Structure 1
Amino acid sequence: KFSLEKAKSKIDRFYALRTKYPEFFTIKDADDHKVRELLNTGMIVYLPTPLNEHGSRIALIRSGVYSAEKYTIEEIARTMYGIQEILMLEDDYAVVNGITTIVDVKQGTAAHLMQMSPSSLKKMTIFSEEALPFRPKNAHFIYIPSGFETFFNILKPMLSKKQQKRLSLHGNKLDGIYEHIPLKYLPKEYGGENGSIEECIVELNKKLDEYRDYFKANAQYGTNEKLRPGKPIDFDHLCGVQGSFRKLEVD
């Protein structure tokens, strides 16, 4: 918002968090086979036409299309943030107007839910809020399975108040989001006109190819907290939480 100090702070957080948690936030190789495999599942795609033609970029996340046993939350996060880094560099709709997110959890299982530990969620929340230049809009959860709301309500307090207000649950149907995202702006697989998931996957792979040299070079940059003027960042305080939900039972 035209603040030099906020811009400096985000750049600082961006490289500090990438240095501390590269497994979450840094793609070192655009040909990383796990990143490519996850991308090819259509786990996350960005639709070609922004909301209302000139509004926010629309992201579709499908949390259950990948194997929770095969892929870690770090690999999932690294893939998602790698694609967002490309948007950060070239997509004015995403940077200026923000990102509206649809989260389809229809195929989600207890194993997928349990991947999202409080510690992982906190790291991803801090990175999204304090390190990326996007203006997050609402996130709409659709096709919600049994037990999801309980788990959602447990993890929700880990988010900032601002992020909590942006989340909307729409039950086990799709039509609840039409007042927020008209049908025509959804992909063809959801009855809309905004490209197909397969087309989006092809485009994202092309983008990774284009940014191959960029990711290789950018992986060399980071921060050295020993050289930071004043106190170094307390990452345990910034990103840490107590406890674990590994024993939570989800029907």
Structure 2
Amino acid sequence: MAEKYVFTLGQEIEEYAKDNINETSEIRDKCLSEIKIWLQEEKSNLNARTEDRYILPFLRGAKFDLEEAKSKIISYYILRRDDVKWFTNRDPSLPELQEIIKLGVFVPLRKLYHNQLVILVRTAAHNPRKHSQDNVFKVDHMILDIAALFEFEAAQIYGVISVFDMNGVGARHAAALTPGIVKRAVTAWQNYHVTSKSLDFVNSPIYLNVILNIFKSFMNEKMKKTVKVHTKGLESLHQIVDKDILPEEYGGTDGKLEDLINFWNEKLLNKRDWFLDDEKYRAD
């Protein structure tokens, strides 16, 4: 029998969850029960995880609106079925994935910012001639899985700040972001476990709006409102999050970027068996 969820995030977060996403112990238990019954009925269509840990983020993202949560779950597991390049062969020890992980394209910070998860997306850290964009997005999702599901549960309630460092982005990086890949990326993000609170672009090139317009064409209105472009380099970044949670390379005091990358690489490798098992969950 699966272990019943127990809220362990403290009274302050419990009050915030009640006031902002309609989460109380009674509502949570009722909704978890109803979603499990529904998943059992949909078993022939959805091979979905039925443990509390994996259902709860969808409920939180939907503010415990059952129909919206069901819609998110369906979209998520269909994406896992259809987007095989991102959701199969997710073995973090594979050389081609290790290379991208160690470059630090997608690096969550180790400390939360007002209980929000902050992610550095270093868009030019990889070589688009050598590293496929599909593998880059695969690694991104793998790291986010570990961060949001296992390391920082509060982010399911408070959301995620994504900081896109555009320094060094060239024509080849832009060319790799075809409309098809961009549409898949936006669809995945809008149906993911955690809510995007802001998409902040720093060190932005003058042609950034060309790229952003492609992304925005696939975004819903709610997500479009989270996009913010900053033009003052690191000074802009320091206005988004505090320096004491940033690595030294970004003007912060929380260690070296390499240490942060190694921190997440170790987390991924420790979850290798989980990733291999996780591939079987998808829409039929």
TM-score range, shorter chain: 0.7 to 0.9
Of residues 163, 166, 187, the one that matches 1:102 is: 163
In the other structure, the counterpart of 1:59 is 119
Cα shift at 1:211: 1.0
Q: Distance in 1 between matches of 2:113 and 2:198?
A: 12
In the other structure, the counterpart of 1:181 is 241
Instruction: Please list the CA deviations of residues 183-218 of structure 1 after superposition, one character each: whole Å capped at 9, or x if unmatched.
Output: 333221111123332111111111112211111111
Of residues 114, 122, 137, the one that matches 1:77 is: 137
Cα shift at 1:65: 1.1
- 1:48–1:195: 8 Å Cα contact kept in structure 2? no
Q: Would you tell me which structure has more helix in proportion to its own residues?
A: 2
Of residues 177, 180, 183, the one that matches 1:116 is: 177
Cα shift at 1:172: 5.0
Aligned: 1:49 with 2:89:
no
User: Structure 2 vs 1, CA of residues 2 and 158 (structure 1 numbering), >3 Å: closer, same or farther?
Assistant: closer
What secondary structure is seen at the aligned counterpart in 1 of 2:111?
A: coil
Aligned: 1:164 with 2:224:
yes
Q: How many residue pairs align between the two structures?
A: 221
Q: Segments of 4+ in structure 1 off by > 6 A? A: none
Gaps of 5+ in 2: 1-62
- 1:56–1:94: 8 Å Cα contact kept in structure 2? yes
- 1:44–1:62: 8 Å Cα contact kept in structure 2? yes
In the other structure, the counterpart of 2:87 is 25
What secondary structure is seen at the aligned counterpart in 1 of 2:217?
A: helix
What secondary structure is seen at the aligned counterpart in 1 of 2:204?
A: coil
Q: Distance in 2 between matches of 1:8 and 1:153?
A: 30
Identity, % of aligned positions = 26
What secondary structure is seen at the aligned counterpart in 2 of 1:34?
A: helix
Q: Distance in 1 between matches of 2:232 and 2:238?
A: 14
Instruction: Please list the CA deviations of residues 12-48 of structure 1 after superposition, one character each: whole Å capped at 9, or x if unmatched.
Output: 2222111111202344322122211101001111111
Q: TM-score normalized by structure 1?
A: 0.81
Gaps of 5+ in 1: 225-251
